[in-house]
Amino acid sequence: MGGRLLLALSLVVATGSSVEVQAKRPRVELTTAIDTTPIRAGASVRLLLKVRLPVGVHVQSDKPRDPSLIPTVLTVKPPAGLTLDRIVYPPPTDLAQAGRSQPLAVFGSEFTIELQLSLAAGAPTGEFIVPAQLRYQACDASVCYPPARAEVQWTLRVEKS
């Protein structure tokens, strides 16, 4: 009986520690910007996603050197009339870690992702909502937190040509 009680208490303590670590998961702050004005049918539009994490926190780049690591990925779902031409991630920074033969390719606590979209020539005037989702795994010097997702969107106002 004493062994079962000890096991149950151990599970409660372990679960409490896990919840505590997840409660301290770093939060990402996302800021959108539109770098093209005015926006007109038939033109290209440059969108920016500024990502900020707490100081001392990083995420893996979009192309980690180790395939077992979780890349940072922005998934964009443009509405009808818009085409996603490309997503440009910033250059990664090398982060040396003890026990690894090569450094990690990471994005630091502040970085910007750029999107290039094209509007159809016959796109109507008005508002277009461009939704996206950022998938990332934040890490600090001692721990990597569970992967997370953050929703974001841009509102484009298309003017007459």
| pLDDT at 9 > cutoff 80 | no
72-83 mean pLDDT: 96
Burial 54-77 (b: 16+ CB within 10 A, else e): eeebbbbbbebeeeebbbbebebe
Residue 84 placed within a domain: yes
In b/e form, how buried is each residue of 138-149, taking b as 16+ CB within 10 angstroms?
A: bbbeeeebeebe
| Strands of the sheet with 110-119, listed across from one edge | 29-34, 44-52, 110-119, 82-88
Mean pLDDT of 13-28: 54
Residue 97 lies in a domain: yes
* Within a domain: 122: yes
Q: Looking at the domain assignment, is residue 119 inside a domain?
A: yes
Q: How many domains does the chain have?
A: 1
Is 7 inside any structural domain? no
State the CB neighbour count (10 A cutoff) for residue 30. 15
Confidence of residue 111 (pLDDT cuts 50, 70, 90): very high
Does residue 125 form part of some domain? Answer: yes
140-159 pLDDT, tens per residue? 988 899 999 999 999 999 99
**What is the value of pTM for the model shown?**
0.83
Q: Would residue 8 count as lying in a domain?
A: no
What proportions of the chain, in percent to the nearest 5, are helix, strand and coil?
A: 15, 45, 40
Instruction: For residues 52-58, give the mean pLDDT.
Output: 96
Instruction: Give pLDDT, residue 10.
Output: 36
**Does residue 146 form part of some domain?**
yes
Q: Which domain holds residue 52?
A: 26-159
Give me the CATH number covering residue 154. 2.60.40.1250
Q: Does the structure show a pLDDT above 90 at 100?
A: no
pLDDT value of position 20: 40
What does the mean pLDDT of the chain come to?
A: 86
